[in-house]
Each structure stands twice: as C-alpha cells, then as structure tokens.
Amino acid sequence: MIVRKIFFLWIPLLFALPSLYAIPLVEQFKQSGYVEICDENHGTATFNSLYAYFDAFIELLQINPVWAQKLYTAKERFIRSKDRSYYSTDFFGLYDESKREGRNQISFYYSTHFHEFIRSRYPELVKVPEIIRFFEACLEIQKSYGKLFNEAATELGLETIFSSKYGEPPILFKVVKYLPAYVAAKPHYDGTAFSLFLDSTENQSLLLSPYKSSFIVDDFSSPLREFSRQHNQNSILLIPGALLTEFSIYPTPHIVIESSKTRYATIAFAMRPNYVPQKTEHSPLPNFKH
C-alpha cells in the first residue's frame, strides 16, 4: 500500500506535490485509491466540539418542528437560486433518517453560500444559538481545504476544473451521525471531483478499494494509516470522485460498515462549478448483505 506523507500546515503554499514526490498523484489513486494526509490544524478537539454542536442542533430541530420546517423551506428556496448551480447538486441541509430502517443516520450538508442565503433571507434562524454555533463551526473547519483541492487538481493537470467567478472550489461539507442500527448494504461512488474524509470517531469502519474493472467484497479494506487521530492532528484521506471520469481518473468506491455504537464522521466534497454530470457507467459494486 502506498501512502503519501503530507503535513497540512498554515503556510502560504500548502502543498508542493509534483516537486516533492516521485509517484504522481494519479498513479497513487490507481494503486491505492486514496492519499493519506496529516492535518496538523484540526484534531479531536475541533471535531468533538463540532459533534457536540451537531447533537444540540439535531435536538433543537427534533423538538421544535417549526425551526425544522423553516430550515427545510430555506433549502428548497436555495436549490432554486442561482447559487445552487455553483455546487451542481441539490444536497443541502438536514437529512434526518434516524427512523428509516437500515439507514438510521442523520446528516447535514453545509455550504458557505447556503449559510449566507439563510443569513440574508432567514435572519431569525441564525439568531438561534444551536443553529449559529453549528454553522459557524462548519464554516471555520471547511474554509481551509479549498487550497488542498486546488493543489490536487493542479498536480493532475486539471488547473481549470474549479474555475468560476468565486475563485475557489465549491465545497460541500457533510457532518453525519450514524446510529447503532445503521446498516450499509453496498459500496458507492461519490458524485464529486474529490472527497476528503476529514474525521471519523471510528476510522476502521470505512472500507475502500482502488477502482477496478470488477469487484468482490474482499477487495474492500480499511486503509492503513500512518497518522493517528489525536488532540491536535488527524489522518485525512483524499479520494477521486465520479466527476473526474472524463479525464480517465476513476472514482474510489467505499462503504461505511455497521457498528453497534453511535459514530460521527465529517467529509468535505469538492464539486465542479456549473457542471452538468455526464451519464457514465462505472464497474458494478458488490452487495455486502445477502
């Protein structure tokens, strides 16, 4: 297994990938399906705080359906706005599947434009402490990863893939809470340019495989990590998504397997601005449940 050791620091040039590493990024994706990065900016202190805010946010919406409805209405209006096309997706806001058998998870898809849309059109929402604390935590964490995505695109020779009037990649930031009854039957490909697994309270539950012409269950395994989840650092994984297929860069399939306990995870998705996804056939993925 090839692991790229990169330290993510607060310096003007976050990465100098082509000059420092002999193995091109595209080859590492082909061989391993991912690249591991050491994030020395965000560790368990940051993410445990985020998950505490997320729990308070969830509880507020579950016991106050009026706030939940306002947030849903804001999402529906946002996906009909011009800013939605910057992300080329309709996934925004809260998805409470806690009562849905098998799914048993709650996730929130955050973006800076969705945040600003709510701030300007639903100012009453961002006056609620449980909402604003969670939104501000998402904003603070996700804003540092745009340069990482740009650097990865540059190494792949795709310098213009994120070109837009905003001058940065559109980032969709997902926070998810898996409940003990959660079950995943099949791996999936992300409809993204890149996906960055920022944190998990149970890293070994993430299984992935480099892209192949065909798959079996045994192809999937938990990545071997050089870095650990600590108070002030983290092991993060960068994988390609399905929106790079036209450049002969194929997506890494992955699955989060079940556990008997509650878990949390955070992922940053780099989307393609104003992009209409092409219909592309990828290799079929195996069922983990029979």
User: How many residues are present in the chain?
Assistant: 290
Q: How far apart are CA 201 and CA 181, in angstroms?
A: 16
Contacts of 203 (CB under 8 A, 6+ apart): 222, 225, 229, 235
pLDDT tens for 30-40 read: 999 999 999 99
Between 1 and 106, name the one with better pLDDT.
106
pLDDT tens for 229-284 read: 988 899 999 999 999 999 999 999 999 999 889 999 999 999 999 998 888 899 99
pLDDT tens for 123-154 read: 999 999 999 999 999 999 999 899 999 999 99
Q: How far apart are CA 74 and CA 247, in angstroms?
A: 35
pLDDT of the residue at 26 = 96
Environment class of 166 (CB within 10 Å of its CB; exposed 0-12, middle 13-18, buried 19+): middle
What is the CB-side half-sphere exposure of residue 158 using CA atoms within 13 A? 22
> To which H or E segment does residue 234 belong?
strand 234-240
pLDDT over 70 at 225, yes or no: yes
Q: Are 113 and 157 in contact (CB under 8 A)?
A: no
pLDDT over 50 at 13, yes or no: no
Span 2-21, mean pLDDT?
40
DSSP 13-76: S---HHHH-SS-HHHHHHHHS-EEEEESS--HHHHHHHHHHHHHHHHHHHH-HHHHHHHHHHHH
pLDDT of the residue at 278 = 80
Give me the phi and psi of 151, to 5 degrees please. Answer: -65, -40
pLDDT over 70 at 20, yes or no: no
pLDDT of the residue at 289 = 76
Q: Name the pTM for this structure.
A: 0.91
Q: How confident is the model at residue 22 (pLDDT cuts 50, 70, 90)?
A: low
pLDDT tens for 185-217 read: 899 999 999 999 999 999 999 999 999 999 999
**Domain limits of the chain?**
7-19+31-270
Q: How far apart are CA 30 and CA 79, in angstroms?
A: 35
Is domain 7-19+31-270 annotated with CATH 3.10.20?
no
pLDDT over 60 at 18, yes or no: no
Give me the phi and psi of 215, to 5 degrees please. Answer: -130, 150
DSSP state letter for 231: T
103-135: b or e for each residue (b if 16 or more CB lie within 10 Å)? bbbbbbbbbbbbbebbeeebeebeebebbbbbb
The pLDDT mean for the chain works out to 91
SS3 at position 149 = helix
pLDDT of the residue at 170 = 97
- Please state, for a pLDDT cut of 90, what percent of the chain lies above it: 81
pLDDT of the residue at 279 = 84
265, amino acid identity: A
Contacts of 50 (CB under 8 A, 6+ apart): 134, 137, 138, 141, 175, 266
